[in-house]
Structure 1
Amino acid sequence: MKMNHSSTTWQQVLLLSLIILAVIFFSIVSFVYFYPFILAFLFSLMFLPFVNFLENHWNWNRTLATLFTCGTFVILLLTLVTFIIAELVQGLSYLVRVLPNYIDDILYNFQILLDNTFFPFINNITNYTSGLDHESNLNIDQTIDQLLSQVGTQLIHWLQLVLNQLRDFLMGIPHAMTMIFFSLLASFFITKDWPLIMYWFNKYIPVRLFQLVSRIITEWKSALGNYLKAQLTLVCITGVIVFIGLLILQVDYAFTAALLIAAVDILPYLGTGAIFMPWIIYSIFNSNWFMTIGLAVLYSVVVLQRQISEPRIVAHHIGAPTIVLLFTIFACYQFFGFIGVLFGPLILILTQSFARAGIVDEIKAFLK
């Protein structure tokens, strides 16, 4: 009897392992090849409450309610994008007017730097090497030539890398627009036919499995929504701090600059440093020490508050202890590198969703 029970348990464990592997494989393939439909599903989850409200309380036709909700979302999105583009165009127009003067100032200060530092240094080297023998002079000249050649090669490599990234970005815009179009189109049909989809699930999928999937989807909706709220809160905090700091520094178009910096703050690797570091370097070359110190202090404040606030705010919104979030991020960083810092909270969200949906209890019941 024990032998049969043990054999049955191992068969159940093997079957469960195969199911888990199949789900993981299907999830990876779906994410890689069918991500527009995953995005469409997320859009549908966002549209459903509004469509259901219009259908149930205002007696709208479901197709009309879905079309109205999707259209309103697209209009709001286009309005937001138009506003951001208008602010950026206004800021760029200002840069076009003042940039030539800034470039002249940089070149002038760079020339002064060369005259006062670099050329005297070269003269000192020349005076020093003039007293050496021919072979020593030749070795020094070769070393300098190799150094300059390496610097030039590295600069060319960086320039090619930037141009390639810019080319890939521009070439990816039509593809991104196409994927967004397919996602919105698919979300329209998913939202419109949601009752039919639920009826199909109820009819062909076991009730227990259907209830489990429903609980998982509900937990995902709640957790992902809270995570997005946390990120939006962090971006807003960054934007407010930067805006106040730029007003104190009396920077023109402070709102546009703060909006751009807050948007860049979403980037996982660069963040606000992609804006602040070139700006600080420019201020140094321009000998504007007030702006240099002010921007450095502002950048330090932004980075410090991000490092302190992010674990607490994210952990609070997803309902996990801060230490658990920190441990998850660190573990993902150890396994996946910097990309793990970005996906660590998402992995914790998925794990929590499965646990809160009762999947652990279902596994225990299956193995008994």
Structure 2
Amino acid sequence: MFEKRQLTRLKPLLYFFIEYTVVFFLFAVTLKYTFPFVAGFLLALSVQPLIRVLKEHLHFKPGVAAAVSTLVVFCVVFGILFLIGYWLISEISHLLNHLTVGVGSVTGPINRMISTVGEYLSKIDSKYVQQNQEQIMNIAQSGAGVLKTVLGSILAFLTSLPAVITMFIVMILSTYFFSKDMTGIKTHVKSLFSRNAVFNIRSASHHGISLSGKYICSYLFIYFITFIETLIVFFALGVPYPLVLSIITGIADILPVLGPGTIYIPLALFYVIKGSFLRAGILLLCYFLITAIRQIIEPKIVSSSINIHPLTMLAAIYFSLVAQNFWLLIYFSVLLILYKILTNMEVLPTLFEEPETVVPAETESCGNSVKSE
């Protein structure tokens, strides 16, 4: 059915796909155990220039240079996280305290809704309740099960705080030891490969860092577009604190499935309760428009930044949305980046072989006649 030469040519690509899938699956399954060590290794790689400066110019010992670099990187990371968290908490609390909405305008519609529901409940026949007692009990048990799940999740989070603290301690220590022994680790890894293989790995890593940087920047640009669109919508509708809410919406765009809807939908419900149905409808309409625009521009921006066909990126985004699994988006994105790197280096064959350029017979005969002259 298929040409045998094409099957032979694509065999390395099939092996790469199988090996990558197995490695990624093992990585995703074991990440909760290996995360502090993976993060520590990446942080240790990032501080190598600082360690080099401390050892060469300030004549620090390797252990002292690694300790100082680890302290600096974690002070910077935790400092940035603390500042962002403090800024968000202060802005959100300021937003809640100074929101220019009268309490009566919100409690009034809620009270009317409660009284309406009470009138309907008073009209329910007692015989109907007795006949459908089993169904009502099942609904109540389902609600109790949901409440139990929520409370169990909260309890699990609270009891996991010591584990989170332990994870950060392990991350700090692993960063220190990886930073201290990074030269030896690189030497031992290089000794396993030939010079040509080491050169290919180094060039592939540089190319991969470049493509990954473009990939991250393209998504940051998409989140910025969402922030600008939301800022314009909130300003036009007169939503209080449009800048803060737009920033939060841009951050929420990272979340799968709902994305900006985590802000737009509660805000629309708030205006429905307030009685402003026009604003609520416009907010929902703008949310659907922003989501549609994102689905259109995301494959184009991401694919153009890493030179991959937009249809492949669209398929990756669609698969992750349908499965409601963020890991699928990471899986396909990394797969496409690695495929692009390895095909550019001619380590792997391309999926579709480029057609050979055929010289027309007339041109060839003209060339032969010119040579004869």
Among 265, 272, 275, the residue aligned to 1:287:
275
The CA RMSD measured in Å over matched residues stands at 4.1
TM-score between the two structures when normalised by the length of structure 1: 0.70
Deviation of 1:144 (Å): 6.2
Counterpart position of 2:325: 338
1:238 touches 1:262 (CA, 8 Å); kept in 2? Answer: yes
What aligned pairs does 1:201-280 form with structure 2 within 5 A after superposition? Answer: 201-280=189-268
Q: Bigger CA drift: 308-317 or 43-52? A: 43-52
Gaps of 5+ in 2: 1-7, 350-373
Deviation of 1:164 (Å): 3.1
Q: Bigger CA drift: 236-245 or 307-316? A: 236-245
SS in 2 for 1:262: helix
Go from structure 1 to structure 2 and tell me whether the alpha carbon gap of 1:250 and 1:176 turns closer, same or farther (over 3 Å shift): farther
What is the CA–CA distance in structure 1 between the aligned matches of 2:88 and 2:241, rounded to whole Å?
10
Go from structure 1 to structure 2 and tell me whether the alpha carbon gap of 1:313 and 1:162 turns closer, same or farther (over 3 Å shift): farther
Go from structure 1 to structure 2 and tell me whether the alpha carbon gap of 1:249 and 1:149 turns closer, same or farther (over 3 Å shift): farther
Counterpart position of 2:290: 302
Counterpart position of 1:110: 110
Among 302, 311, 330, the residue aligned to 1:323:
311
SS in 1 for 2:47: helix
1:332 touches 1:344 (CA, 8 Å); kept in 2? Answer: no
Counterpart position of 1:33: 33
Go from structure 1 to structure 2 and tell me whether the alpha carbon gap of 1:329 and 1:274 turns closer, same or farther (over 3 Å shift): closer
What is the CA–CA distance in structure 1 between the aligned matches of 2:347 and 2:298, rounded to whole Å?
29
TM-score between the two structures when normalised by the length of structure 2: 0.70
Go from structure 1 to structure 2 and tell me whether the alpha carbon gap of 1:89 and 1:33 turns closer, same or farther (over 3 Å shift): closer
**Which one-letter code corresponds to 1:338 in the other structure?**
N
What is the CA–CA distance in structure 2 between the aligned matches of 1:282 and 1:30, rounded to whole Å?
42
Go from structure 1 to structure 2 and tell me whether the alpha carbon gap of 1:290 and 1:159 turns closer, same or farther (over 3 Å shift): farther
What is the CA–CA distance in structure 1 between the aligned matches of 2:109 and 2:324, rounded to whole Å?
40
Q: Deviation string for 1:151-184 (max 9, x for gaps)?
A: 5444444433333333333444443343344334
1:219 touches 1:356 (CA, 8 Å); kept in 2? Answer: no
Go from structure 1 to structure 2 and tell me whether the alpha carbon gap of 1:296 and 1:195 turns closer, same or farther (over 3 Å shift): same
1:284 touches 1:292 (CA, 8 Å); kept in 2? Answer: yes
Matched, 1:84 2:56: no
Go from structure 1 to structure 2 and tell me whether the alpha carbon gap of 1:67 and 1:312 turns closer, same or farther (over 3 Å shift): farther
Counterpart position of 2:166: 178
What aligned pairs does 1:54-65 form with structure 2 within 5 A after superposition? Answer: 54=53, 59-61=57-59, 63=62
What aligned pairs does 1:130-209 form with structure 2 within 5 A after superposition? Answer: 138=127, 140-142=128-130, 149=137, 151-209=139-197
**Which one-letter code corresponds to 2:189 in the other structure?**
F
What is the CA–CA distance in structure 2 between the aligned matches of 1:261 and 1:249, rounded to whole Å?
16
Deviation of 1:27 (Å): 5.0
Gaps of 5+ in 1: 1-8, 130-136, 362-368
Q: Bigger CA drift: 75-84 or 303-312? A: 75-84
What is the CA–CA distance in structure 2 between the aligned matches of 1:105 and 1:160, rounded to whole Å?
34
Deviation of 1:110 (Å): 2.8
Q: Deviation string for 1:202-240 (max 9, x for gaps)?
A: 334433443444344334323333322222222222233
Deviation of 1:87 (Å): 2.7
Go from structure 1 to structure 2 and tell me whether the alpha carbon gap of 1:331 and 1:107 turns closer, same or farther (over 3 Å shift): closer
What is the CA–CA distance in structure 2 between the aligned matches of 1:145 and 1:35, rounded to whole Å?
50
Among 337, 346, 351, the residue aligned to 1:349:
337
What is the CA–CA distance in structure 2 between the aligned matches of 1:343 and 1:81, rounded to whole Å?
27
SS in 2 for 1:360: coil
Q: Deviation string for 1:47-74 (max 9, x for gaps)?
A: 345555x469x83447566556544443
2:256 touches 2:321 (CA, 8 Å); kept in 1? Answer: no
**Quick one: percent identity of the two aligned structures?**
20
2:303 touches 2:313 (CA, 8 Å); kept in 1? Answer: yes
Q: Bigger CA drift: 223-232 or 86-95? A: 86-95
**Which one-letter code corresponds to 1:187 in the other structure?**
T
1:67 touches 1:188 (CA, 8 Å); kept in 2? Answer: yes
Go from structure 1 to structure 2 and tell me whether the alpha carbon gap of 1:327 and 1:246 turns closer, same or farther (over 3 Å shift): closer
Counterpart position of 1:134: none
Deviation of 1:322 (Å): 0.9
1:312 touches 1:322 (CA, 8 Å); kept in 2? Answer: yes
SS in 2 for 1:165: helix
